[in-house]
């Protein structure tokens, strides 16, 4: 009898948990802001000089701002076109060097209640400026990454972490960018 009551209690608990109301993700516009940390490795190629094969790396840290619009495909999937831009202080390239990294992309999110996990693909771009000499360089390319977070079921506040990697091309260099963004946002539903 005791064993039957325990089994019945376990089944009832599972049924109640499975039947608990969970809000499906909704359509809506959002804005977010947070921190970015980036790491870049660049290799010089194709110059026909002794510089070919020379590599250097630099790091950035700063603030990131993003926008997206969420399209609910069903109760567990959303499609989120997004734009994220950053302003960063760059270390490893001298003094007074700043950078910007942006992503115009598309995320596919899988929802587990109020928590989401997913991936993204996008077009990445980079601008690095040496403010001492008023010189800048640009690079762009494709990439992708992972996203995870929590969002209030009724809209409003959300938290998100995003890891990205891209291969950027600029003339005679091949550049590998890796970035991590931690954001707090607000979604209107």
pLDDT at 47: 81
pLDDT at 173: 82
pLDDT tens digits along 80-114: 999 999 999 999 988 999 999 999 999 999 999 99
Closest to 75 measured CA to CA, from 31, 120, 38, 112 = 112
In the DSSP assignment, the letter for residue 131 is T
In the DSSP assignment, the letter for residue 25 is P
Closest to 141 measured CA to CA, from 179, 174, 92 = 174
Q: Where are the beta strands (DSSP E) in 73-172?
A: 77-91, 97-112, 115-130, 135-151, 156-170
Q: Is the pLDDT of residue 180 over 80?
A: yes
Residues 91, 77: Cα–Cα separation, whole Å: 39
pTM, entire model: 0.83
pLDDT at 85: 98
pLDDT at 77: 96
Element (H, E) at 13: helix 2-18
């Amino acid at each position: 009898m005791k064993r039957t009551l325990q089994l019945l209690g376990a089944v009832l608990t599972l049924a109640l948990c499975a039947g608990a109301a969970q809000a499906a993700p909704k359509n809506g516009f959002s804005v977010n802001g947070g921190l970015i940390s980036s790491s870049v490795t660049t290799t010089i190629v194709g110059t026909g000089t002794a510089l070919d094969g020379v590599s250097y790396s630099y790091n950035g840290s700063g603030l990131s701002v993003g926008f997206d619009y969420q399209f609910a495909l069903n109760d567990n999937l959303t499609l989120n076109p997004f734009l994220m831009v950053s302003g960063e202080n760059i270390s490893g390239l001298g003094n007074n060097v700043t950078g910007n990294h942006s992503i115009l992309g598309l995320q596919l999110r899988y929802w587990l209640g109020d928590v989401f996990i997913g991936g993204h693909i996008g077009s990445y771009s980079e601008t690095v400026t040496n403010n001492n000499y008023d010189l800048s360089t640009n690079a762009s390319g494709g990439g992708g990454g992972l996203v995870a977070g929590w969002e209030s079921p009724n809209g409003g506040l959300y938290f998100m972490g995003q890891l990205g990697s891209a291969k950027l091309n600029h003339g005679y260099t091949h550049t590998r960018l890796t970035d991590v963004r931690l954001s707090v946002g607000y979604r209107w539903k």
